[in-house]
Structures are given as C-alpha cells and as structure tokens.
Amino acid sequence: MQERGSQGEFNLRSPEERLSDLERKYKELEEKLWCVDCKVPRGAVLSDADIKRLVIAKRILITPEPDLESKVILGTCKIDLRLGDSAKFIDPTKVPHIDLSRPVPGEYYHEMDIQEHSSLIIPAGMVIVATTLERIKLPNCMIGLLVGKSRPARSGLKVEGAPIFDAGWDGKPMLELHNGGGVPLEVHYGQAICAMVFLHLSSPTLEVYAQRNGVKYANQTKAQI
C-alpha cells in the first residue's frame, strides 16, 4: 500500500487543524522576517520615517534629541550628527615617528575642548580624533554605520569612524577627522559633520556590545585613541 505524503496527511486533517497549522507556519515566518518591537523588516535599512518613529519611541536613543522635523538633519535614510566638544591628537613636535606595534605614550597627545574654543582648525595632512555632540544608544537588533558628508569632503575633510557600531552600542561615536587637502580647515562646535545609517539585524544579537569582555569603547564620552 502506498504511503501518503505530507500533502496527503495535510488534506486528511479537519479544516480547524489545517487553519491552525497555517497560522503556526505564518507566525514562524513572520518572526523570521519581521521585528515586532521595531515594526520593520529584519535586514532592512531604515528610512527617514522609521528613523523618526523609532527615535520618538526611544528604540533608538539620541541625546540631545535631534530636530526630527528638519529635512536638513533627517535625510531619506540617515540622520546628521554634530561635532562635539572633545578632541585629541598627537603633537608632531613631541614625537619623531609612531611605532604602531606599541601604545603611544600619553604625553605625546594633546587634548582640546572644542566648545571652549568654539571651533577646531585642522592643519593640512593632520588627523584629529573627536567626538560627536550626540550620544547614541542602539537596540540589540540594530547596528549603525557612520558616513561622511559631501560638502566637507569636497573641501578635503575626510570623516571616518568605526565601520560598524554594534547592536546595543551606547556612547558618543569617535570621529577621525583627516584633512587631506592643502590648506587648514576649520570646523565648528555643533556643526553637522557626519551622519548615521541604521540597519536591522536578521535577529537580536546574543550579547550586546557593552556586555562583551574586553571592549574598549563602551559608554565613551571623550575622544580616545
């Protein structure tokens, strides 16, 4: 006697059983593809509408709160971040060269309060580490990508940071400000200097960044090298 396949077994069930089975499969599929907490598809790049909604709902924490009605600050898929008060750089008059295999002694660094001076002048060819004005806290299902802005880039300013801000990350993003042009560049405290894009993970991470052993940049608020 020929055995019935799974389809045949499914057809022998009562309508109630078949409906229950379909509902269970739909729920499993929904959990894989849709985040109930964020109300966005898993793996999606957040749009301006979703960024605005999740910032208002405190799923993405940004302190101080940005002006979400400004189309200058909130782009189609990113939100601007501003230059903060803390900057740190290596004083070229104190060290002839840097050995990247060893920690750089603290006395070679110079720290600066950008807010106190209202602006920061970056000499040609120099790299300065600074913070954003905003503090960001991400949920355990989302990562952030830091991107530069076109106008400063056209003047020679290259703004970089960590390539990925891990799920659950909390702190002020560190920025590497590199003047690749031929003349000094001046940037001002509170000036929009970069932007962050948000990507939803396929599932919540097993362990958020701040809980991992040996992390260096958790809860950072000052420029670090």
DSSP class of 154: H
Q: Which of 111, 176, 186, 207 is catalytic?
A: 176
Query: With the C-alpha atoms ordered 45, 161, 164, 54, is the resulting torsion angle positive or negative?
Result: negative
Helix (H, G, I), strand (E, B) or coil at 71: coil
Closest C-alpha among 51, 29, 222 to residue 139: 51
176 is catalytic: yes
Contacts of 208 (CB under 8 A, 6+ apart): 140, 166, 167, 168, 169
More confident residue, 74 or 217: 74
CA atoms of 15 and 29, how far apart (whole Å): 21
Q: What radius of gyration do the chain's Cα atoms show?
A: 24
Amino acid present at 101:
S
CA atoms of 113 and 222, how far apart (whole Å): 10
Question: In the CATH scheme, what architecture does the domain 37-211 have?
Answer: Distorted Sandwich (2.70)
Contacts of 51 (CB under 8 A, 6+ apart): 60, 74, 77, 78, 79, 198
Closest C-alpha among 110, 125, 223 to residue 178: 125
Reading the block at residue 87, the tokens are 């900057």
- pLDDT at position 179: 96
The answer to whether residues 72 and 66 touch, using CB atoms and an 8 Å cutoff, is no
Residue 27, pLDDT > 50, answer yes
The answer to whether residues 169 and 139 touch, using CB atoms and an 8 Å cutoff, is no
Instruction: Specify the DSSP element, H or E, that contains 132.
Output: strand 127-132
DSSP class of 45: B
Residue written as token pair 């390539």: 163
Q: Is 196 left (phi over 0), alpha (psi -120 to 50) or beta?
A: beta
Q: What is the value of pTM for the model shown?
A: 0.82
CA atoms of 122 and 132, how far apart (whole Å): 16
Contacts of 203 (CB under 8 A, 6+ apart): 42, 141
- pLDDT at position 137: 95
Task: Note the Cα 67 to chain centre separation in Å.
Answer: 18
Please write the tens of the pLDDT for every residue from 172-188.
Answer: 999 999 999 999 999 99
Residue written as token pair 């932007």: 195
Please write the tens of the pLDDT for every residue from 89-147.
Answer: 988 888 888 888 988 888 888 899 999 999 999 999 999 999 999 999 999 999 999 99
Please write the tens of the pLDDT for every residue from 56-84.
Answer: 999 999 999 999 999 899 999 999 999 99
